Amino acid sequence: MNYVNRYRMIEPEDTIVAGISGGADSVCLLFLLAEMQSRIPFTIEVVHVNHGIRPDAARDALFVERLCEKFGVVFHSVKENVKERAKENRSSEEEEGRRVRYQAFEQALGGRKGRIAVAHNSNDRAETMLFHLFRGTGLRGAGGIRPVNGMVIRPLLCLQRKEIEAWLLKRGISFCTDSTNGQDIYTRNRIRHHILSYAENEICRETVANMNRAAEQLLEAEEYIGRQTQAAMKRCVHDAGQQGVMVKIPELFREDAYLRGRILLESIALAAGQRKDITSAHIKGVEALFRGTGSGELHLPYHLRVYKEYDLGMIKKRERKKEGKAALPEGEKYEVAFPSVLQIPGLGKVEVTLHPVKFCDDSQNIPEKTYTKWFDYDKISSVIVFRTRESGDYFMINKGLGRKTLQDYFVNEKVPRQERDRIYLLAEGAHVIWIPGYRISEYYKVHEDTRMILQVRVVDKEG
| pLDDT tens readout for residues 235-249 | 999 987 777 899 999
Torsions phi, psi of 237, nearest 5?
Answer: -130, 140
- For residue 129, the model assigns a pLDDT of 93
- Supply angle C-alpha 397, 400, 403, rounded to 5: 40
Most confident range (mean pLDDT) of 81-90, 182-191, 329-338 is: 81-90
The pLDDT tens digits for 286-316 are 999 999 877 778 888 888 889 888 888 999 8
- Alpha helices for 240-355 (secondary structure H): 249-252, 257-272, 280-291
Given pLDDT bands bounded at 50, 70 and 90, which one contains residue 250? Answer: very high
- For residue 179, the model assigns a pLDDT of 64
Most confident range (mean pLDDT) of 48-52, 268-272, 329-333, 419-423 is: 268-272
- For residue 325, the model assigns a pLDDT of 46
Q: Which amino acid is at 350?
A: V
Given pLDDT bands bounded at 50, 70 and 90, which one contains residue 157? Answer: very high
Q: Is the dihedral of CA 199, 201, 204, 209 positive or negative?
A: positive
Given pLDDT bands bounded at 50, 70 and 90, which one contains residue 40? Answer: very high
- For residue 182, the model assigns a pLDDT of 61
- For residue 246, the model assigns a pLDDT of 92
Question: What is the pTM (predicted TM-score) of this model?
Answer: 0.63
**Taking 70 as the threshold, does the pLDDT of residue 181 lie above it?**
no
| Cα gap 324→36, rounded to integer Å | 64
- For residue 361, the model assigns a pLDDT of 46
- For residue 183, the model assigns a pLDDT of 67
Given pLDDT bands bounded at 50, 70 and 90, which one contains residue 52? Answer: confident
**Taking 90 as the threshold, does the pLDDT of residue 257 lie above it?**
yes
Could you please report the per-residue DSSP string of 72-123? T-EEEEEE--HHHHHHHHT--HHHHHHHHHHHHHHHHHTTSSEEEE----HH
Given pLDDT bands bounded at 50, 70 and 90, which one contains residue 57? Answer: confident
Per this entry, what is the length of the chain? 463
Q: Is 450 helix (H, G, I), strand (E, B) or coil?
A: coil
Q: Which of the 8 DSSP states describes residue 425?
A: E
**Taking 70 as the threshold, does the pLDDT of residue 326 lie above it?**
no
Q: Which amino acid is at 381?
A: S
Given pLDDT bands bounded at 50, 70 and 90, which one contains residue 255? Answer: very high
**Taking 90 as the threshold, does the pLDDT of residue 53 lie above it?**
no
**Taking 50 as the threshold, does the pLDDT of residue 200 lie above it?**
yes
- For residue 322, the model assigns a pLDDT of 46
